[in-house]
Amino acid sequence: KVHVLCNNAGIGVFGHSETCDMRNWHWVVDVNLWGVVHGLQAFVPLMLAHGEPAHVSSTASMAGMAGLRGAGPYNATKFAVVGIMETFAAEHRKDNLSASVLCPGLVATNIATSTRNRQDKYGGASRPSDRGISATELAKGLNPDAVGRQVLEAILDGQFYIFTDPSLRHIIETRSKRILQGYDWAANCKALKGEKQAGPLPGGLLTK
């Protein structure tokens, strides 16, 4: 029986969205996004079948909470993982199945050298690009073992969003303020004056 699933496969692809090689686009989507989808489809039916308490945790990134300049394709996949897990948590709220999404800051992994494992159909292996976060910078990051212990603690505590670096809180606060400012602007938007709105979605929003 499977009681805990951690979708953690990930690669780093750097470059601007409009100029990044399409093979790199396909590569990062196939690993970072489809890896999560395949994990859910392979294991969640088994978890639901045994009916015992179970948990799914998927790794996104702080780049799934706020855009990281020069990493459009990577950001896109990590925002997608956050969205998938928010929806998944809401869909299974009444099941014996909980969920979380890990949004780490810098962690001392080998993701900066992902291109050494790139398959031929995506352009083949190559030396790491100097446009993104370097292996030297990542080496200064958090110990991966500490992150593993944190994820276990979060699962036991029922914590959905798992952030590894409290000092990055201002990034979330800044983005939240910009989103709310967008709503303030919409409330006074001349183009919307007198227009009928649909109102809340049927069944309410998917997120808590």
Residues identified as active-site: 74
Nearest C-alpha neighbor of 147 from the set 10, 29, 2, 3: 10
Backbone phi, then psi, for 158, in 5-degree steps?
A: 70, 30
Distance CA 131, CA 14 (A): 7
Cβ neighbours for 10, distance < 8 A, ≥ 6 positions apart: 31, 32, 35, 59, 61, 111
Q: Which residue has the tokens 């992994």?
A: 109
Cβ neighbours for 48, distance < 8 A, ≥ 6 positions apart: 95, 97
Tell me the CB-side half-sphere exposure of residue 83, using CA atoms within 13 A: 8
Tell me the CB-side half-sphere exposure of residue 9, using CA atoms within 13 A: 15
